[in-house]
Amino acid sequence: MGVTLGAFSVTVLGCDGGYQAPGGACSGYLVRAGSTRLLLDSGPGTLANLQRYVGLDELDAVVLSHDHPDHWSDIEGLAVARQYALSAPAGAPADSTARERVRVLAPKGLREITYHCRGDAFDWREVTDGSKATVGALELRFSRTDHGPETLGVRVSAFGRVLAYSADTGPKWSLGRLGGGIDVGLCEATFTSAHEGSARHLSARQAGTQARDAAVRRLVVTHRWPTVAQDEIVSEAAEAFGDSVIPASQGLTIDL
Ligand SMILES: [Zn+2]
Ligand SMILES: [Zn+2]
């Protein structure tokens, strides 16, 4: 087909919605494409899990979808690690300690509510609805979802394949807003249909329906509240999607 195929995968570092279950972690995903390493959200617990796969000095960029702490709080530890702990030992020439700053792509206002990220730890860039970015082998495109603060879903493309991440959203936005040809839809399904309308999130039924409407090839459901049963999420999403769905779990890697 003329398309150069390289390794392209997403690994779940955390998938709990809102807060962590015992031993759990909130939203965070490691996207790898060729030699490119992208961290997609960094909720509590994800920094520890990230280090199972890559060194903290090996990231090319971080995307933070919105300012709810279950999607970004571990960026604080990453800032400390990169600014201090990973620095060259005392006595090394000053310019040899200069570490390339990692690009962080986030909506307006998020940086200001952090503690360690307001300095030089990162190369911080604002993104918004419609923004595009290139990170190594990855092409990114952002779309504002239906959530409280400005929240950006993202289309991540590499080697002719497409990952679409909903971030957090209510039902007035759909994965289809990230365009067609979605190979893997990583979509929030926070609760079951019994909770629909109680918060600006998707039920498993709504996630399955919008993934079907967007002709998503494989659906991964994530961001489940710890109080909600996994098997109920999976069965409800699968019925609406019309095919089996994959529940996100820590350590799960999906090859695109
Ligand atoms: Zn969330
Ligand atoms: Zn949120």
> From the CA of 85, how far away is ligand 2's center (Å)?
30
Ligand 2: centre distance to CA 168 (Å): 5
- 41 vs 196: CA distance, rounded Å: 25
Closest ligand relative to 70 C-alpha: 1
Residue pLDDT, tens place only, 47-63: 999 999 999 999 999 99
Whole-number Å distance between alpha carbons of 121 and 50? 18
- Encoded tokens for 69: 């702490």
All domains of the chain, ordered by start, with CATH?
8-247 (3.60.15.10)
pLDDT of 98: 44
Question: How large a percentage of the chain has pLDDT more than 90?
Answer: 88
User: What are φ and ψ of residue 162, in 5° steps?
Assistant: -135, 130
Which residue bears the tokens 């995968």? 9
User: Measured between alpha carbons, how far is residue 247 from residues 44, 84, 190, 221 in Å?
Assistant: 19, 37, 12, 5
* 3-state SS record for 142-201: EEECCCCCCCEEEEEEECCEEEEECCCCCCCCCHHHHCCCCCEEEEECCECHHHCCCCCC
How far away, in angstroms, is 96 Cα from ligand 1 center?
39
What whole-number distance in Å separates Cα of residue 87 and Cα of residue 199? 43
pLDDT, position 20 = 97
Q: How far is the CA of 27 from the centre of ligand 1 (A)?
A: 7
Q: Ligand 2 center to residue 222 CA distance, Å?
A: 13
pLDDT at residue number 85:
87
Predicted local confidence at residue 88, as pLDDT? 61
- For residues 129 and 142, is the Cβ–Cβ distance under 8 A? yes
Q: Which letter does DSSP use for residue 77 in this model?
A: H
The pLDDT tens digits for 123-148 are: 999 999 999 999 999 999 999 999 99
Q: Which residues pair with 247 in a beta bridge?
A: 221
Q: Compute the distance between CA of residue 144 and CA of residue 121 in angstroms, rounded to an integer.
A: 26
- Ligand 1 centroid, distance to 224 Cα (angstroms): 9
Lowest mean pLDDT among 12-16, 87-91, 193-197: 87-91
Q: What average pLDDT does range 195-202 have in this prediction?
A: 95
Distance 168 CA to ligand 1 centre (A): 6
